[in-house]
Homo-oligomer: A and B are copies of this chain.
Amino acid sequence: MTQGTKTSTTDRRSDRTKAAILRAARERFAAQGYERTTIRAVASDAGIDASMVMRYFGNKAQLFDATLAIDLRLPDLTGIPADEVAEALVRHFLERWEGDPADDALLVLLRSAVTNEQAAARMHEIFAAQVNPALAAALPPELAARRAGLVSAQLLGLGLTRYLLRLPAVTTLTPDEIESGLAPAIQATLDPN
């Protein structure tokens, strides 16, 4: 029922439009945030009717939620010398933000988390599941908890000012300038004093 004898290559047609919807939704949510993104606009971008979005994702909140599946792909910090951890982090985030211009995932999350409870909750989850463990691997156990927050604050501050607010004083910097200016700072937060 519902599907034929063999559905090994999953129903094809619907999967393609479902993916198109998700792609369009990510773009809109990233550019405009949750409230200003309309289902009609997403549907139009995906080349279908708005009611199809409802059929596949239930409602706007669930579509949004599907959009928030994000992997920071944090590197394993275990092998890295203690005094190079900050540099590795900064480099990784710059690459993550700027590497693939079509990848709006981080933009969606950060922009929405500021005005949307659902996204903020997701941010907490991602923090607990990805950032904390990664830093715990590179820091003395009891220091990690107290410093992970400040390190995140600094990295998110970079994302905020460079990619969301686009403050000229930050956007005009080259990746190298950012790395050389920010890595020592974060390193100072990481090192016990």
> Which A residues are closer than 8 A to B by beta carbons?
32-33, 35-36, 110-111, 113-115, 120, 123-124, 127, 132, 145-150, 152-158, 160-162, 164-170, 172-173, 177-178, 180-182, 184-189, 193
Contacts and interface: CB of A to CB of B under 8 A. Distances in A.
A101 to B, nearest CB: 20
A189 B184 contact: yes
B152 A154 contact: no
A158 B167 contact: no
A146 B114 contact: no
Given A35-B115, A188-B184, A173 B154 contact: no
B124 A168 contact: yes
A114 B188 contact: no
